[in-house]
Amino acid sequence: MKALFKNINYKLLSCVFAVFLLVILILMSVFSVNKTEKQPIAKMVSGNAVEEISEKEIDINSFLNAEIELTLKPNTSGFKLVYTAVPNSTEYEIYRKINGEKGFTLIDTTQKNIFTDTTIITGNTYIYKVRAVIKQKEGQLTSGFSNKVKKKFVWFDKDKKMVALTFDDGPGKYTNKILKCLDKYNAHATFFTLGLQVNKYKSSLKKADLIGCEIGSHTFDHTNLTVLSKKEIKSEINKTDKRIKKIIGRKATLVRPPYGAVNSKVKKVIKKPIVTWNVDTRDWATLSSSKTFDNVMNSVGDGDIILMHDIYRSTKDAVLKIIPALKQKGYQIVTVSELAEYKGIKLKNGEVYREIK
């Protein structure tokens, strides 16, 4: 026995054992990496392609806490929803409820961050919210919900007469009365607001947006833009946009320069469509509801853009009669942007529109 142990080469045995342990450790490491790093746990949308990504490529906390901003715009088909794209999401869930219902219903899922809801009815008010989803073999991850957006839908017939009522210098104390009349007759208008005024009448601005009216900019303090520098023009527009966005969640869509004063500098600086008018009611000069009414009804035509001011009692009284009278004559009362869309005209930044025929 002693002779046997004496003949064993302990140095060689130690080397063989060390090599054996090293092989085992390497094999364990390889299988561990394959199991944890190569197993796909989610899919990422890139255009129309779907590719597998590994756990290290996903920031789960960033996904779960993603802020999704939803905006809503009516078009000829229904409501167009546009919302923030969330990295690594495989799809988005669209939720909706009709005003008065208790809970939201999932109406669709899509891989795109744009969705048009065509299953809506004129006169109903809808509320939407959206969330992002990552699909996994084990289940799915969902982000938080976007902001809720609420809006009344009105469908218009592109083959029938249309006219755009527009109001400058507000909001004011008579704006709500005008909004109630518009809402009653499923009519829309465009309000070119002053930045100085919007914080005083936040509820009016929100109500206008809710019922489908359009919020435009009439600059911050009604300054003639043609006498300002480029920097000053930008300031007039940006300050107004900032206040409007805080109230309704987005900037003004259009600009109406005070006094309708436009030159090449103004057109170059303003990065929005510029809207003037082709029917001037001169309500500010006459302060007469009957003359304002007559100035509209005696000259109105399809595609007209009509100028009024929602800060005068006489204008408010006239509008309460103008709206049903126009409806009786077969006119659809729309926003400037709706008028352009239904007429098939794309409004361009820096261009001036007096009418849309």
Active-site positions read 168, 309
- HSE-CB of 91 using CA atoms within 13 angstroms: 8
At residue 228's C-alpha, the angle toward residues 254 and 225, to 5°, is: 30
Q: What share of the chain is helix, strand, coil (3-state, %, to 5)?
A: 40, 25, 40
Do residues 330 and 160 touch, judged by C-beta distance below 8 A? yes
- HSE-CB of 82 using CA atoms within 13 angstroms: 7
Do residues 40 and 50 touch, judged by C-beta distance below 8 A? no
- Quick count: other Cβ atoms within 10 Å of Cβ 4? 7
CA separation, residue 213 to residues 74, 125, 248 (Å): 10, 13, 12
Do residues 41 and 54 touch, judged by C-beta distance below 8 A? yes
Q: Which residues of 142-155 are buried (b: 16+ CB within 10 A; e: fewer)?
A: ebeebeebebbbbe
Can you state the angle between helices 313-328 and 289-297, rounded to 10 degrees?
Answer: 30
CA separation, residue 339 to residues 78, 111, 128 (Å): 15, 31, 25
At residue 352's C-alpha, the angle toward residues 250 and 295, to 5°, is: 95
CA distance 247 to 201: 10
